[in-house]
Structure 1
Amino acid sequence: MSKMEESNRGRPAGKRLSRKCPTAGRLALPLRLLLAGLHAGAWMTGRPLAGMRGRMAAFMRAMDVAACLRLPGRVEWGDIDLQVRDGRLVPARWYRPRRKASEDGHGEPLPVILYYHGGGFALGGHRLRHRYNRAWAQLSGCLVLSVGYRLAPEHAFPKGADDAYEALLWASRAAGSLGGDPTRLAVAGESAGGNIAAVTALRARDAGGPPIRGQALLYPAVDLTGRGGPGAESQPSLRQNGRQYMLTLRLLRQFADGYAPEELRMLPHVSPLLAPDLGGLPPALVVTAELDPLRDQGRLYAERLRAAGGIAESRCYAGMIHDFTAMMPGWLPEAEHSLRLAAGFLKERLYVPAHGGSLAGTAASTEQGGGGCGAAEEQGEGTNEHERPFG
């Protein structure tokens, strides 16, 4: 049974998820209402990064309550401080679905997903999307660690990325204390968290760190230069979608400025798309959205992973905007579908032996839903000088 068939099993016919994206350019009603209420990104643009946090936290909590994916089943959770090698404490919240009892009466150890939240490296938090994180645990059947990495601009690069990697090292040593299996690890994240997840995988490869079995990157910000590597010409989505869909080019530039100075943005651990070698990385799923400024860099990252000999599945959702998966999984079928797809992708890789061979459907990567997103590439429009690509 395919992942799509499994997702549709038990659904009423009218609510089944299709493999096809909706018609390109059609914006779902909940998204139209949201954008009208927020006036694109004007509700935050122009404020200092630290001054945006209160509004963003309130928005994330409200959407997490109103538009969460409601699933049956019990999930235990709690807060923990991860003690890392230099003695610091990295906060995290863990989520653990009900486990099957083994013969000795204890629950079986669960694979571990380290999840890194989005928010432009400066906003958001590891506890704000509580129901969303809980859904990850339910859909994946894994112990999920939502990591509270340090935020810019007070803690600019590499501090947040260091926290993320230290959390991975902690999980490889001590996940058993939470009922996790330290030998079965994966990383995931959305937006800036997708960047941090990708960088964590790169660091683990380069430093001989704990083996990672999979990475799920939701609309990741993998090129903070906005023009490096493949060049702005291969990222038309920056200009097409950088003005009217909440995540504007002005916000992107502000996030990049707060996270790393311009001279560091070509580094692979800041912009993983620009890494000279993407070979030897764990299998990846990259989710993108047609109306997202970051659409093309996510697509390019998946293409480069495949070109380097890796497994990289990619899916672009037509008619969707940045952060649709985490923002509205209970309201938008596409958001629910992408969440189930990402959780299922990691579940497949974490519930098989490390050297158990290829899984059906993963040996060859696919670019699904490309028709809707490809159509958007012909709809480019000019941009003002103050809204140039964010490098």
Structure 2
Amino acid sequence: MGVFRLDPMMVKLIITVMLASFLPARGGFVPFFEGLTTAAIALLFFMHGAKLSREKIIAGSSHWRLHLWIMFSTFVLFPALGLLVIWWHPVDVGREIYTGFLYLCILPATVQSSIAFTSLAGGNVAAAVCSASASSLLGVFISPLLVGLLMDIHQHGGAMNGLEQIGKIMLQLLLPFVLGHISRRWIGGWVERHRSLIGQTDQTSILLVVYTAFSEAVVNGIWHRVGVSTLLWILAGSLLLLLVVLAINLTASRLFGFSRADEITILFCGSKKSLANGVPMANILFPAATIGIIVLPLMIFHQVQLMVCSFIAQRYKKQGQKAQEQRSELSADARQMESQESS
């Protein structure tokens, strides 16, 4: 039953949203939290760059067919499904919710959880490190371009032009990322020794962005537009979206003849979306009044993907252990037969 527990980060997000709902930042506190959020985002991407190991990426970079499919799943398949949801719009939940679904579909994959689930299930960890890291890096460029390409900026209230978007992304996300990666030669050892501290920095940065975004959203009446029925629909939509992508990736990996280890890597790297990248990026790409409601689908999808992928990883692990036990039994039987024949 541990699979169905709330992720600790999700619990913190819920508490942060509740805090913003009852005690939103107002007046003079708004520019303070906005400045603090900008600094936290810069620190977050600086640490992402410092954690990126070129050696691990090179070690898993040769498997181009696998990486090509994962990138296709992340930046083509997912956005296509997001456009399909907007075209279909089965439930009247408001424009911003559908924008949020499309936004989560254009984000890069997670890094830590994709690698962790791949490792747990017995997949190709080197390829997972390469693919997830490349997805995170490419997402800094591709996701903002897809926002401009796929979203009707005027319809959804986005007043920012493409060049301004790219400039802000370069300054607030890419520059700290590059500086962090350059600094890895001096701080890489410290980063490796203090991974738990870096993880806490990541979480704190995300929580700051969420608090600032939801404070603005609460002031603009988010809870008058989003009720329990809307939240349940987002939950059901997130689950359906994830299951469709998993089914397509599983079918494709077997159709194209990938090994079991590569199949696992495709499932976990090609079906995840990054909360760590998505929340800070939304802070730059969308007007402050709409960020809170737009990131709601991403926050719920984050929990759904962890629960479902944890269940799948455990299944793969048990299957692998069972296969290993069978091989061990066959090997023992073969040795016993050889011993009897020799005697």
- Scaled to the shorter chain, the TM-score interval is under 0.3
The answer to which structure has the higher helix fraction is 2
Larger radius of gyration: 2
The answer to which structure has the higher strand fraction is 1
Q: TM-score, structure 2 length as denominator? A: 0.26
Q: Which has the higher contact order (CA 8 A, sep 6+)?
A: 2
Q: TM-score, structure 1 length as denominator? A: 0.23
